[in-house]
Structure 1
Amino acid sequence: MESPLIQLENITKSFGGVKALKGVSLTIQPGEIHCLAGENGCGKSTLIKVMSGVHTPDHGQIFINGKKYKHLSPLEAIKEGIQVIYQDFSIFPNLTVAENIALGSELSAKRKVVSWPNMRRIAKEALSKINVDLELNEKVENLSVADKQLIAISRALMQKAKLIVMDEPTTALTHKEVDALFKVINGLKQDGISVLFVSHKLEEIFAISERITILRNGSNVISEQAKNMDTEKLVYHMTGRKLQDKYYDVDVKNKVPILRTDKFGLDHSFENVSIEIYPGEIVGLTGLLGSGRTELAESLFGLLPATSGRVFINSKEIKIDSVQKAVKEKIVYVPEDRLTEGLFLEQSIERNIIASTVVSLLTKLKMLNQDKINQSVENWIDKLGVVTHSSKLPVKALSGGNQQKVVLAKWLSSNPNILILNGPTVGVDIGAKEDIHNIIKDLAKDGLGVLLISDDLTELRQNCNRVLVMNKGRISGEVRGRDFNQKTWSELQEA
């Protein structure tokens, strides 16, 4: 058997007295696709920074290509072939494809004058290694997330990468883009390059990984061949609890739709959309990027006022031409990008929660009633299970799952009747994801109508009583939630 490419033994690392890693070990073989899994806060990011030289461990040993390192520096890690592709890809949006890929090589050569033909040649060669053809003169800011990722991979290859670490690489990718990325990863394996795939998406972990290492609370739980694992075991090792495969069924007979659209449309986005959502329903909505699903949600919330069709709330026709009108009609919307659209990151948890109801928390003298605020905030923190020791902390200090709960609290405090959720568990770990799903189901059981937009087929199947599929701006079909799977999704995309 070949010697390990990298071997971390009993790594410990503390920050301010808090142990982030407690004797963690990880071994990656040459040409191996290895998955590092675990919930947010389990130590994955810290471990990545240790192996890339960003953090020096307090204790433990690091071996790379058989060489022992006591104080591994980032430069030494790069020279040993370790490349990390973070979620932001660390690329320059104002530079071209060629410049982003080849600039490092030009700098390494210490040329006083940049050779543009040489730069284009290097970039073309790098892209050819992963069988990708991009316009070399195109500015990276104009490209899709998937293409930016391919540029980051190509750049890593030009640095003679032996191990490429991909941190949550599929977060913003469509199904087709994920499939394309997996082909690239398998191609890297064929060339003898190892990949450490960091993810919490179960289907993807099993689709691409050969070996899986799981961390929980800064410690190793298990390292096992993927073929010897299944979803139930993986979830149990990640969370320490068993998750049940539940479905959501609801009887809407003899009920009036809480929301109905008739030939609803928005120029250049979607048209002729007629849907019904009943009290107590969780209706799923999915479709490829550009299908019109997000625009539909934003039209129902008044962000993009519709240009045709009608909307009915409890059989009464209304016109939603602004966010204020939507909120007045008790429609709320939780956007996909909670960081830029859903939260005030620098502000406290408390201020984020009361943002939509601040007027109702004023005294007669138009001053904030702190007692009311404390009562409301503590109620929502407790009800939604937001993990924090103080509501005065900035919301950016929370994990992704807890941030999402704060977004939910902000809108649920306005007592809505219709809840539109766009990617409610994107970037959220398995345990927090189940918590959010249970919250959504409880809300629906209390009579809310929920429209849940998602790319996650399992999420749609287990939490929606019906799933609608959008294709090219139209609803192409409807499936009962428990019957929704990859096959039905593909069939409706082609319909």
Structure 2
Amino acid sequence: MEPFLSLRHISKTFHGTRALNDVALDFLPGEVHCLAGQNGCGKSTLIKIISGVYRPDEGAQITLGGQHWPRLTPSVSVAEGIQVIYQDLSLFPNLSVWENIAVNHYHHGWLVKRRALRQVAEQAMASIHVSLPLDAPVESLSIARCQLVAICRALAQDARLIIMDEPTASLTHQEVEGLLEVVRQLREKGICVVFVSHRLEEVLAVSDNISVLKDGELVGTWPAAEMTTQQLGFLMTGQQFEYQTRALRQSAGSTPVLEVVNLSRAGEYQNVSFQVEAGEVVSIVGLLGAGRTELCLSLFGLTRPDSGEIRINGQPVKLRSNQDAISHGIGYVSEDRMNRGLVMAQSIENNVISTVFPQVTNSVGLIDETRCRELVSRLVKALRIKVPDVHLPVNTLSGGNAQRVSIAKWLAITPRLLILDSPTVGVDIANKAGIYQIISDLANHGIAVVMVCDEIEEAWYQSHRILVMQQGRLTHSFLPENSTQEMIAGVVNG
């Protein structure tokens, strides 16, 4: 079969740094082709060359739809049937479903033909057997349904190759299964799907072929059926990743760091009770909308519960704000590091010290450079943050290193309790392992950790205890050594 898109001698250099080096790939019609690799391996650069955003270095050979091109432009890429669905989806939240799907057809004529545009949207949905409320504003839809809107928009553009960048990062287990089924339908229609995901199990479940990039070079391409997650992880990183469950350490007579007693907030969570001891990692799993993040926000003082009690080291506390929480030694690493967790345009140093300004200022209120430098240097070294200069903005870092900065800013307060909300979302396998080691080190130093997990495997290996949250209530508690992942998944998804 002739490739729909063939790439040869694809290189890209930025300011003397080689981001891609002589990459050669073929993408076939009706194929699901995964691009795998760590953050910074060159996947995003390659996608932007395919979509025409970046010009490759001299010598590139691109064959698209039977024609030869030295480079692609965005207009040529779209005209030839290439569509990219980025992680943020790039939808118009205030417009309806049909307007988003048919948005690229608005330029056909002077008048907006609403009936014709609705038909475009209906035909795109029918082609993959999905049903969406055409007149509903996109902002009212779940993330999973927004994904379908983005896919239908690509189909309305006569897409022949669709690139999906981390499409499952914010989806529940059921929603992931639904999306993967849609990907299979696209394959049956003869559309090539380029799938980018850090979730290796999903990659193996849906892909026909997997191409691994490392340090800007193509390691190779393999049939997915011949690959395991362990093999794929090794090809991506050169490391073997093996995890063991954590046994619960009994501390007879000790006072828990955190006690939550019958905590409730209308419409979010009800009668939640649990406790976390020093050095214990407690994970909370559940479907999106179960109330996990809402509970964490109250534990950090960002929202106020209607009833119930929070105790820190046995003492009842009133957390009226995040400043109250910080004063009691509570840190919170948000699931949304780009908008809530970090100030992306500010330097690494400024982000790290943002929680401890009083400790790094002198008697006249100015920042003590020596004190600041010592604190930041210590945390960068302890968390193994790879950065040439702490004065660089956070938005220059990979996702894994940015997440380490978001953890560092809370370790600066020397917390008793650290709340980690989905700390490994959008992070590659090597950086996941690094974050897991950080969590283990925190526990070994006596810090209590509450972690919201989207993956049951992660919770099972990285926690001393696992709590299941359903519809705002804690319903089950598991010890990893006395349970299986399948048992927990049955409860969560049942």
Whether these two folds match at TM > 0.5 is yes
Structure 2 residue aligned with 1:82: 82
Structure 1 residue aligned with 2:477: 478
Superposition pairs of residues 128-207 of structure 1, within 5 angstroms: 128-207=126-205
Superposition pairs of residues 26-41 of structure 1, within 5 angstroms: 26-41=25-40
Unaligned ranges ≥5, structure 1: none
State the Cα deviation string for residues 279-323 of structure 1 (Å, max 9, x = none).
Answer: 111111011111111111111111111111122222222222322
1:202 counterpart letter in structure 2: L
Superposition pairs of residues 286-435 of structure 1, within 5 angstroms: 286-435=285-434
Structure 1 residue aligned with 2:118: 120
2:321 counterpart letter in structure 1: S
- Kindly indicate whether residue 95 of structure 2 is the aligned counterpart of residue 99 of structure 1: no
Give the SS at the match of 2:250.
Answer: coil
State the Cα deviation string for residues 183-220 of structure 1 (Å, max 9, x = none).
Answer: 11111111111100011111111121111100000001
Q: Which moved more, 1:311-320 or 1:429-438?
A: 311-320
2:190 counterpart letter in structure 1: G
Q: Distance in 2 between matches of 1:371 and 1:85?
A: 45
Indicate conservation of the 8 Å contact 2:291/2:472, yes or no.
yes
From 220, 223, 226, give the equivalent of 1:222. 220
TM-score normalised by the chain length of structure 2: 0.96
Indicate conservation of the 8 Å contact 1:287/1:455, yes or no.
yes
Give the SS at the match of 1:325.
Answer: helix
Give the SS at the match of 2:486.
Answer: helix
Give the SS at the match of 2:60.
Answer: strand
Assess, with a 3 A threshold, how the Cα gap between structure 1 residues 74 and 424 changes in structure 2: closer, same or farther: same
1:208 counterpart letter in structure 2: V
State the Cα deviation string for residues 245-296 of structure 1 (Å, max 9, x = none).
Answer: 2322241231332111121111211111110111111111011111111111
**Per-residue deviation at 1:442?**
0.4
Q: Distance in 2 between matches of 1:349 and 1:103?
A: 39
Superposition pairs of residues 239-318 of structure 1, within 5 angstroms: 239-254=237-252, 255-318=254-317
1:60 counterpart letter in structure 2: A
TM-score normalised by the chain length of structure 1: 0.96
CA RMSD of superposed structures (Å): 1.5
Assess, with a 3 A threshold, how the Cα gap between structure 1 residues 78 and 345 changes in structure 2: closer, same or farther: same
Indicate conservation of the 8 Å contact 1:463/1:481, yes or no.
no
Q: Which moved more, 1:134-143 or 1:7-16?
A: 134-143
Q: Which moved more, 1:296-305 or 1:308-317?
A: 308-317
Indicate conservation of the 8 Å contact 1:460/1:484, yes or no.
no
> % of aligned pairs identical?
42
Q: Distance in 1 between matches of 2:41 and 2:326?
A: 38
Indicate conservation of the 8 Å contact 1:467/1:484, yes or no.
no
Q: Distance in 2 between matches of 1:151 and 1:385?
A: 40
**What is the number of residues matched between the two proteins?**
492
1:234 counterpart letter in structure 2: L
Indicate conservation of the 8 Å contact 1:469/1:478, yes or no.
yes
Indicate conservation of the 8 Å contact 2:333/2:421, yes or no.
yes
Q: Distance in 2 between matches of 1:102 and 1:406?
A: 40
Superposition pairs of residues 31-70 of structure 1, within 5 angstroms: 31-58=30-57, 59-70=59-70
Unaligned ranges ≥5, structure 2: none
Q: Distance in 1 between matches of 2:260 and 2:226?
A: 48
**Per-residue deviation at 1:494?**
6.2
**Per-residue deviation at 1:482?**
4.9
**Per-residue deviation at 1:65?**
2.8
Assess, with a 3 A threshold, how the Cα gap between structure 1 residues 484 and 95 changes in structure 2: closer, same or farther: farther
